[in-house]
Amino acid sequence: MFSLAGKTALVTGGASGIGLAISKLFAAKGAEVHILEINGTLAQEEARQIRNNGGKAEAHQTDITKQDEVRSVVNSIAVQSPIDILVNNAGIAHVGNAETTQEEDFDRLMLVNVKGAYNCIHTVLPWMRGRQQGVILNMCSVVASVGIPDRFAYSTTKGAILAMTLSVARDYVKQGIRCNCISPGRVHTPFVDGFLAKNYPGKEEEMFAKLAATQPIGRMAEPHEVATLALYLCSDEGSFVTGSDYAFDGGFIKIANG
């Protein structure tokens, strides 16, 4: 079950954190994985590691905020291998409320998190529509559904991703294209470690424990756990699922805030 053999998958931000876990698992399940990543050196290294482990992976240094650049990369892939899967994973975070968030920060998050996802969807859809099949998976967040302190801009962008997911699912269901999103709670990624080191030097372990405890299950998720849900939603076993948002939060929304 859950084989992706013969499928081509694009993963934005696919060289670190959740994106890397998805890239590795999809390749292990037989997909030809294309990592679209702003950090070209990192993408090349992770793609090489996947190939060394017997998988198929290519790296593409890509700024997803630039539609012409995205179109060039997507088209170069599509003419070689039909695109079956797009995972919109790339994104950035910000700490601040509506007063402390500066205009340049708000614009930057909207550009990367919202326009970046739009650019990829906009460019991939014609190829999928031409084949009357395809899967789009967007990485959302629990902040699209519940209020989190000091995440004004980030929450705004993830709310947009949720609405974008529902819109695409509705518009393209008759064309054989499915679109879903995953809303993780806190996941232990390099971003979390970097955030704690920057904002709580010397208290990283203490703050990590506090953040983990906010989820009723008592810990943060690991990236590979999110990847397993992504695999289901992008595989043929998930063929009946579209227009859905999956909370992956250790009970945070329904138990802690229900």
Enzyme catalytic residues? 154
Closest CA to 153 of 88, 99, 96: 96
Residue 118's contacts (CB-CB under 8 Å, 6 or more residues apart) are 164
Query: Which amino acid is residue 6, in one-letter code?
Result: G
Q: What is the 3-state secondary structure (H, E, C) of 235-251?
A: CHHHCCCCCCEEEECCC
Which tokens sit at 213? 């405890």
Pairing relationship of beta strands 85-88 and 134-139 according to DSSP bridges: parallel
**Tokens matching residue 28:** 């292990």
Nearest to 248 by CA among 9, 234, 239, 228: 228
Nearest to 256 by CA among 220, 216, 198: 216
In whole angstroms, give the CA distance from residue 173 to residue 193: 39
Q: Pick the closest to residue 19 from 121, 92, 107 (CA basis).
A: 92
Name residues whose C-beta falls within 8 Å of residue 202's C-beta, 6 or more positions apart in sequence: none
Of 51, 43, 44, 45, whose CA–CA distance to 27 is shortest?
A: 51
